[in-house]
Each structure stands twice: as C-alpha cells, then as structure tokens.
Amino acid sequence: MTYSFISPPNAARFVLSNATVPAVTVEHVDVPVTEGLATVDIVISDGMIAAIRPAGAAPADYARTDLRDGMVWPCFADIHTHLDKGHIWPRQANPDGSFMGALDAVRADREANWSAADVKRRMEFSLRSAYAHGTSLIRTHLDSLAPQHRISFEVFADIRDAWKDRIALQAVALFPLDAMADSTFFTDLVTTIRRSGGLLGGVTRMGPELVWQLDTLFRTAAEHGLDVDLHVDETDDRGAETLKAIAEAVLRNGFEGKVTAGHCCSLARQDEDTAARTVELVAKAGIAVIALPMCNMYLQDRNPGRTPRWRGVTLFKELAAAGVATAVASDNTRDPFYAYGDLDPVEVFREAVRILHLDHPLDTAARVVTTSPAAIVGRPDKGRIAAGDPADLVLFSARRWSEFLSRPQADRVVLRRGKVIDRSLPDYRELDSVVGA
C-alpha cells in the first residue's frame, strides 16, 4: 500500500468534509467559488455520492474525514492513449527522438513482437498504472494494419470486459488512410471494428486522394454507425491542412456521428487568417480537438544540435474560444513516440497548464482532464462529482492551485465506490521478460 495523506472512514456512510472541489466538475451546488474552487461537504452512502452540500452542512451523525480544504477531484478521463505501444522503449528505443525515428521503431517492433500475449501483458500493465493514478475512462488507439488489427482488437475486447468495473475502455483503429485503397483490407477492418464495438480512426496526410479517403471514411462510418477519431497534422509543416479538409468532409457528407481530431499541430504554424478560417470550419463541423502537450513538445521541432523554437501544440485556446470541444490527454507511454509518462492525468494536467498556458486564470482548467474529455467520448456520466453517481473520487492534500501544480501529488487517495483502493504501482521489473530491462 502506498503512503496516503489521509484515511477516509471504512464505513457505509461517511462525509468528506471541507473538501475543495474544482467548481467545473460539480453540478447543482450553490456555493461561493474562488479561482474556480469551492469548499463543500461530500456525503457518501453505500458507495454512492448521496449529496454535495456547503461546507459544514452535512449530517452531524455521520462518520467523517476532515480534509482541511484538501482538493477532491472526480476520477479522470484520458481519451487519447496508445496502450498497444506502451512500454516497448527498453526493447525498441527511438534512436534520435524524431517523429520518423518513432515511426520506424514502432513498425519494427510491431512486426517482430506484437503477439496477443505481448500486447496483453503491456496493456494490462498500463491499465494498472492508470487505475492507481485515479483514471476511470480511457480511449486507446490501436495500430490496425493487417494482420495486427485482428490481434489487437481481440485482445482489447477481452481486456475491456475484464476491466469494465474499474476503467471504461474504448478503442479506435489507427491506420494510414492510404490503406483504404485495399478494399479487402478496409472491409475486414470495418468488420473487426464493429465486432469489437470500436471506432473508425486513421492518420490523415495531404495528398491527391485525401478528399476520396475522407468521403469514403465518413460514408463508411455513417453506414455502420461508427464514430470517428483521427490523428491529424502531427507536423510543423505549415502546408499540412488536413484538419480543414476533415471539417469540409464532415459538412459535405452531412456526417452526424462524433468526430474527434488529435494533435492538429500544424494549425499553430499557419498564419492568423488561415488558422482562423480552419478554426471556424472545425467549430461549424462540430469536431472535438484533443491536444497532446507532452508528446507533441517531445517530438515536434526536434533537430540534432538545435534548440526547438516552438512547443508543438495546437491552437488550444483559439479552438476553445470558438466553441470547439477541447481536452488534453496522455498520448504515448514509454515508447518511441514518447520515452516517458505513466498514464497519470495529474502529470498531464500539470504539464498542460505550463505548456498551453492554461493558468491566469485557472478557473475552468480542471475540465480538460475531467468533464470535457468524458463528454467528448460520449460518457458525460464520467469526470464529474454529482449526487447519484458512484463515489469515484481522487483526494489530495493540496488546497489551492499553487500547491496542486507544484508537487506530483504522490500521496493522493483514490476512492472507487467509496472505498480506498491500493495505489501501489506495478514494478517495471514485471515487464523484463517481455521487453527487457
């Protein structure tokens, strides 16, 4: 059991008193809010949140833990990850930290090593870490070139069922849209996605076939009732405008499903007028955008012997201001695309605040790893603190933003249905027989 700053009562009914909550995560509570934070009492009964009341207003006869203004967050939503790639770094490192180096390294490792047993071991290790950190919802992209699509989606379906009471899981097929030209493969991929309850995804690139690819993608998604989640413009090339093309395709085809775009890095490299027109189209098309600040800052503008000149992230604030649904996520974990990370949304949030300048003010910043990502993936019941919901909460000793963002919050307490979970993280040595030391 890891060290925790407090021990909530082991009782059927209890109160978390004097809890500081991000106001954006709490519904139907009329209390004063300062810097986006409110102080409340959270009443828990039989694993559910029974009530949220102003501080000091909870029933006096309940067992209680006084948090002394410590923060309470809902469990997190991490909606752009790569569980199938996770933790291969010891076995297949990126030789130069570049995007192309990552592509080549992952391709080599996938073709040599990604059996069902290999993928399962690494995915489960990642999920144990995410669960210990306080995550209850994950969407992962799965590399889906043949024959890997069948292997990974079958493993995913088994893991999703095994983990359904701990982490809600979604999966997206990731493949270069060029591969759609092989109709036999694409038909089989769609069948695999439907059988596994997944989403249609892909990587978009500029080219003469892009319009056909996008029209085919959205027509296929509409025909089979699939939502779409794409990797978009992960480059510093100002000429990469597939985000614009995606928005145009959504509107042209009248696609009514959910569409999510991850990365969208090149948008931040374009001139103001060009970027503004694309942002307007994205808003009109109803596309959600996910920023991946840690991975994008790691990969983008990396050149040997040269200091990077930009942070690699998309126009997050401009998109949000235009009404686009936005969130941040972990992306890769200890693989050639990002050598670090542990699927910890607290780390993701802390770095997003720094990289994207989500502070000054921080009033609604907590939404980017809670309510916003949950809503984007169709699970508005997650990432919030609401009466009638399961008491899936993360407790922190930090009382204000400066305290929260200055330390890793390693002593946090995670409650699932009102019970404290064991937050012990899996030992990397468990993977030595899979990926090496």
Per-residue pLDDT, 28:
84
Per-residue pLDDT, 437:
74
Residues 279 and 154 in one domain: yes
d(CA 38, CA 19): 8
Across all residues in the chain, what is the average pLDDT?
A: 97
Domains in the chain, number: 2
CA 193 to chain CA centroid, nearest Å: 20
Residues 308 and 347 in one domain: yes
d(CA 106, CA 186): 22
Per-residue pLDDT, 27:
83
**Is 256 assigned a catalytic role?**
no
Per-residue pLDDT, 4:
81
* pLDDT 10s digits, 358-399: 999 999 999 999 999 999 999 999 999 999 999 999 999 999
49, β-bridge pairs: 44
Per-residue pLDDT, 1:
52
CATH number at 59 reads 2.30.40.10
Residue 212 lies in a domain: yes
Residues 402 and 274 in one domain: no
Residue 436 lies in a domain: no
- Which residue's entry shows tokens 């307007």? 280
User: Tokens standing for 329?
Assistant: 């996520």
d(CA 83, CA 339): 14
Residues 42 and 83 in one domain: no
Q: Is the pTM of this model over 0.85?
A: yes
Residues with pLDDT less than 70, the chain: 1-2
Residues 290 and 389 in one domain: no
Range of the domain at 187: 76-376
The two beta strands, 228-232 and 199-203, are parallel
**Structural Rg of the chain based on CA atoms:** 22
Which residue in 35, 124, 209, 234 is the catalytic one? Answer: 234
Residues 35 and 88 in one domain: no
* pLDDT 10s digits, 117-161: 999 999 999 999 999 999 999 999 999 999 999 999 999 999 999
d(CA 127, CA 79): 13
Cβ atoms 49, 390 nearer than 8 A: yes
CATH number at 145 reads 3.20.20.140
